[in-house]
Structure 1
Amino acid sequence: MKKAISDHKAKPGLIKYCFFFMFLFFSALTFGQARGRVQVIRDPLFDTLLAKRAALNRGGGSVGGGNFSSSYGYRVQIYSGTNRNLAYNAQAKFNREFPELRTYIVYREPNFKVRAGDFRTRLEAEKLMQEIRPSFSGIFIISEKINPPKTVISND
C-alpha cells in the first residue's frame, strides 16, 4: 500500500517538470527567430527637400541665391489691445507717417500687437521711439527675431 501512495505523489512533480521544460523549449523558439529586413519607401520629393534644407543651412539664406537671413534685433511696439480695428488703424497711421518702415501685426489671444521696424541695435529703435512718442501712447521696445534690411555694397 505504501508503494501506491508514493507513485501517486510522484505524478504531480513529473507533470510540473514537463510543463517547465515545455515552457523553456517554446520560449527558446520565440527568441531564436532570424533578423528581418526593413524596406523604406519614400516619395522622391523627399530627397529634393533634404537638398534644399542642406543648401539653406550651408548658405545661411534662401536657395534661390537670395541674401535673406534673420537674426535678433529690436522693434517698437506701437499698439497692444483686444480691438482688431484699432490695431489696423494704428498700423495704417504709422504707415502713412513712415512708409519706409515695415510693420507687423501679431495676434496672441486675446491681444493684437502692432510692431514696427527691423532694427539691429536698441539705439536705432530708441531713436524711432522718440520720433513717434507724440503720435502714439504706450509704446516700448521689443527684442525679437527680425528681418534685417539688405545691406547695400557699393564699389565707390
Structure 2
Amino acid sequence: MKLIFTLIICFFSIALSAQKRGVVTVIKDPLVDSLIDRRIALSKKAAPAPATAVSRRDGTIVSMMGYRVQVFYGSDRREVFNEQSRFKTIYPKVNTYITYKEPNYYLRVGDFRTRLEAQRMMNELRSAFATLFIFREKINAPGLD
C-alpha cells in the first residue's frame, strides 16, 4: 500500500513539473514610456538642494534639516500649553513648536543644526522634564553668530 501511494505521489509530482513556461507579451501605448521619462526628468530637476544659506539680509527664514528636542507629549491641550509656558520661563530665547497628530499634542523645542547641539540641550533639560527625545525634522535655520 505504501508503495502504491509513493508511486502515485511521484507520478503527480512529475506531471506538475512537466508544464511549459508561458510567454508574456506586453502591449502598451508608446506614450507611457515618454511619460515615465518625463516624470524622471522632472523629479531630478525638482530635487531640492540642501540648504546651505542660513538667513537672508531681508530677514526671511530659511528652512533646512536639523534637530529638535521633544519636551512633552499628551492628549490634553491645556497640559501642552502649560508645559510650553513652563519651558518659556526657563528658556525664553529658545523657540517652541506645538504640533498635533491625532490623538496627541507634541511640544518640541529648539532649532539645532547638529545632533550634538540637541544633545546638549537635552542634558540641560533632563532635570526639569521627564521624557525627552531628539527628532530630525525640518527646522528654521538659526543665524550664524
TM-score by length of 1: 0.55
Tell me which of 83, 88, 92 is aligned to 2:81.
88
Q: Kindly tell me: are residues 64 and 79 of structure 1, through their superposed partners in 2, closer, same or farther at Cα, counting changes over 3 Å? A: same
Which stretches in structure 2 are left out of the alignment for 5+ residues? 1-52
Deviations 1:2-35 (CA, angstroms, capped at 9, x unpaired): xxxxxxxxxxxxxxxxxxxxxxxxxxxxxxxxxx
Contact 1:67–1:150 (8 Å) recurs in 2: no
Instruction: After superposition, give the CA deviation of every residue in 1:93-149 in whole Å (9 maximum; x if it has no partner).
Output: 110000110000001111000000000000000000000101101111011000011
Equivalent position amino acid for 1:74 in 2: Y
- Name the Cα RMSD after superposition: 2.3
Which is greater in Rg? Answer: 1
Q: 1:111 aligns with which of 83, 91, 104?
A: 104
Paired position in structure 2 for 1:141: 134
Maintained 8 Å contact 2:70/2:132? yes
Higher RCO, 1 or 2 (CA under 8 Å, sep at least 6)?
2
**What SS does the corresponding residue of 1:95 show, helix, strand or coil?**
helix
One-letter amino acid of the structure 2 residue matched with residue 124 of structure 1:
E
SS in 1 for 2:131: coil
Q: Which residue of 2 aligns with 1:120?
A: 113
Which residue of 57, 65, 68 maps to 1:72?
65
Displacement of 1:62? 9.4
Q: Secondary structure at the match of 1:126?
A: helix
**In the alignment, what sits opposite 1:23?**
none
TM-score by length of structure 2 reads 0.59
Paired amino acid for 2:59 = G
Distance between the aligned counterparts of 1:125 and 1:62, measured in 2? Answer: 20
More helix by share: 1
In structure 2, do the counterparts of structure 1 residues 135 and 71 end up closer, same or farther at CA, with 3 Å as the change threshold?
same
Secondary structure in structure 1 of the residue aligned to 2:61: coil
User: How far apart, CA to CA, are the structure 1 residues paired with 2:57 and 2:116?
Assistant: 33
Match of 1:130 in 2: 123
| Number of equivalences | 94
Deviation at 1:63, TM superposition (A): 9.8
**Aligned-pair CA distance for 1:64:** 8.9
Structure 1 pair 100/61, CA: closer, same or farther in 2 (3 Å)?
A: closer
1:150 Cα deviation from its structure 2 partner: 2.0
Gaps spanning 5+ residues in structure 1: where? Answer: 1-59
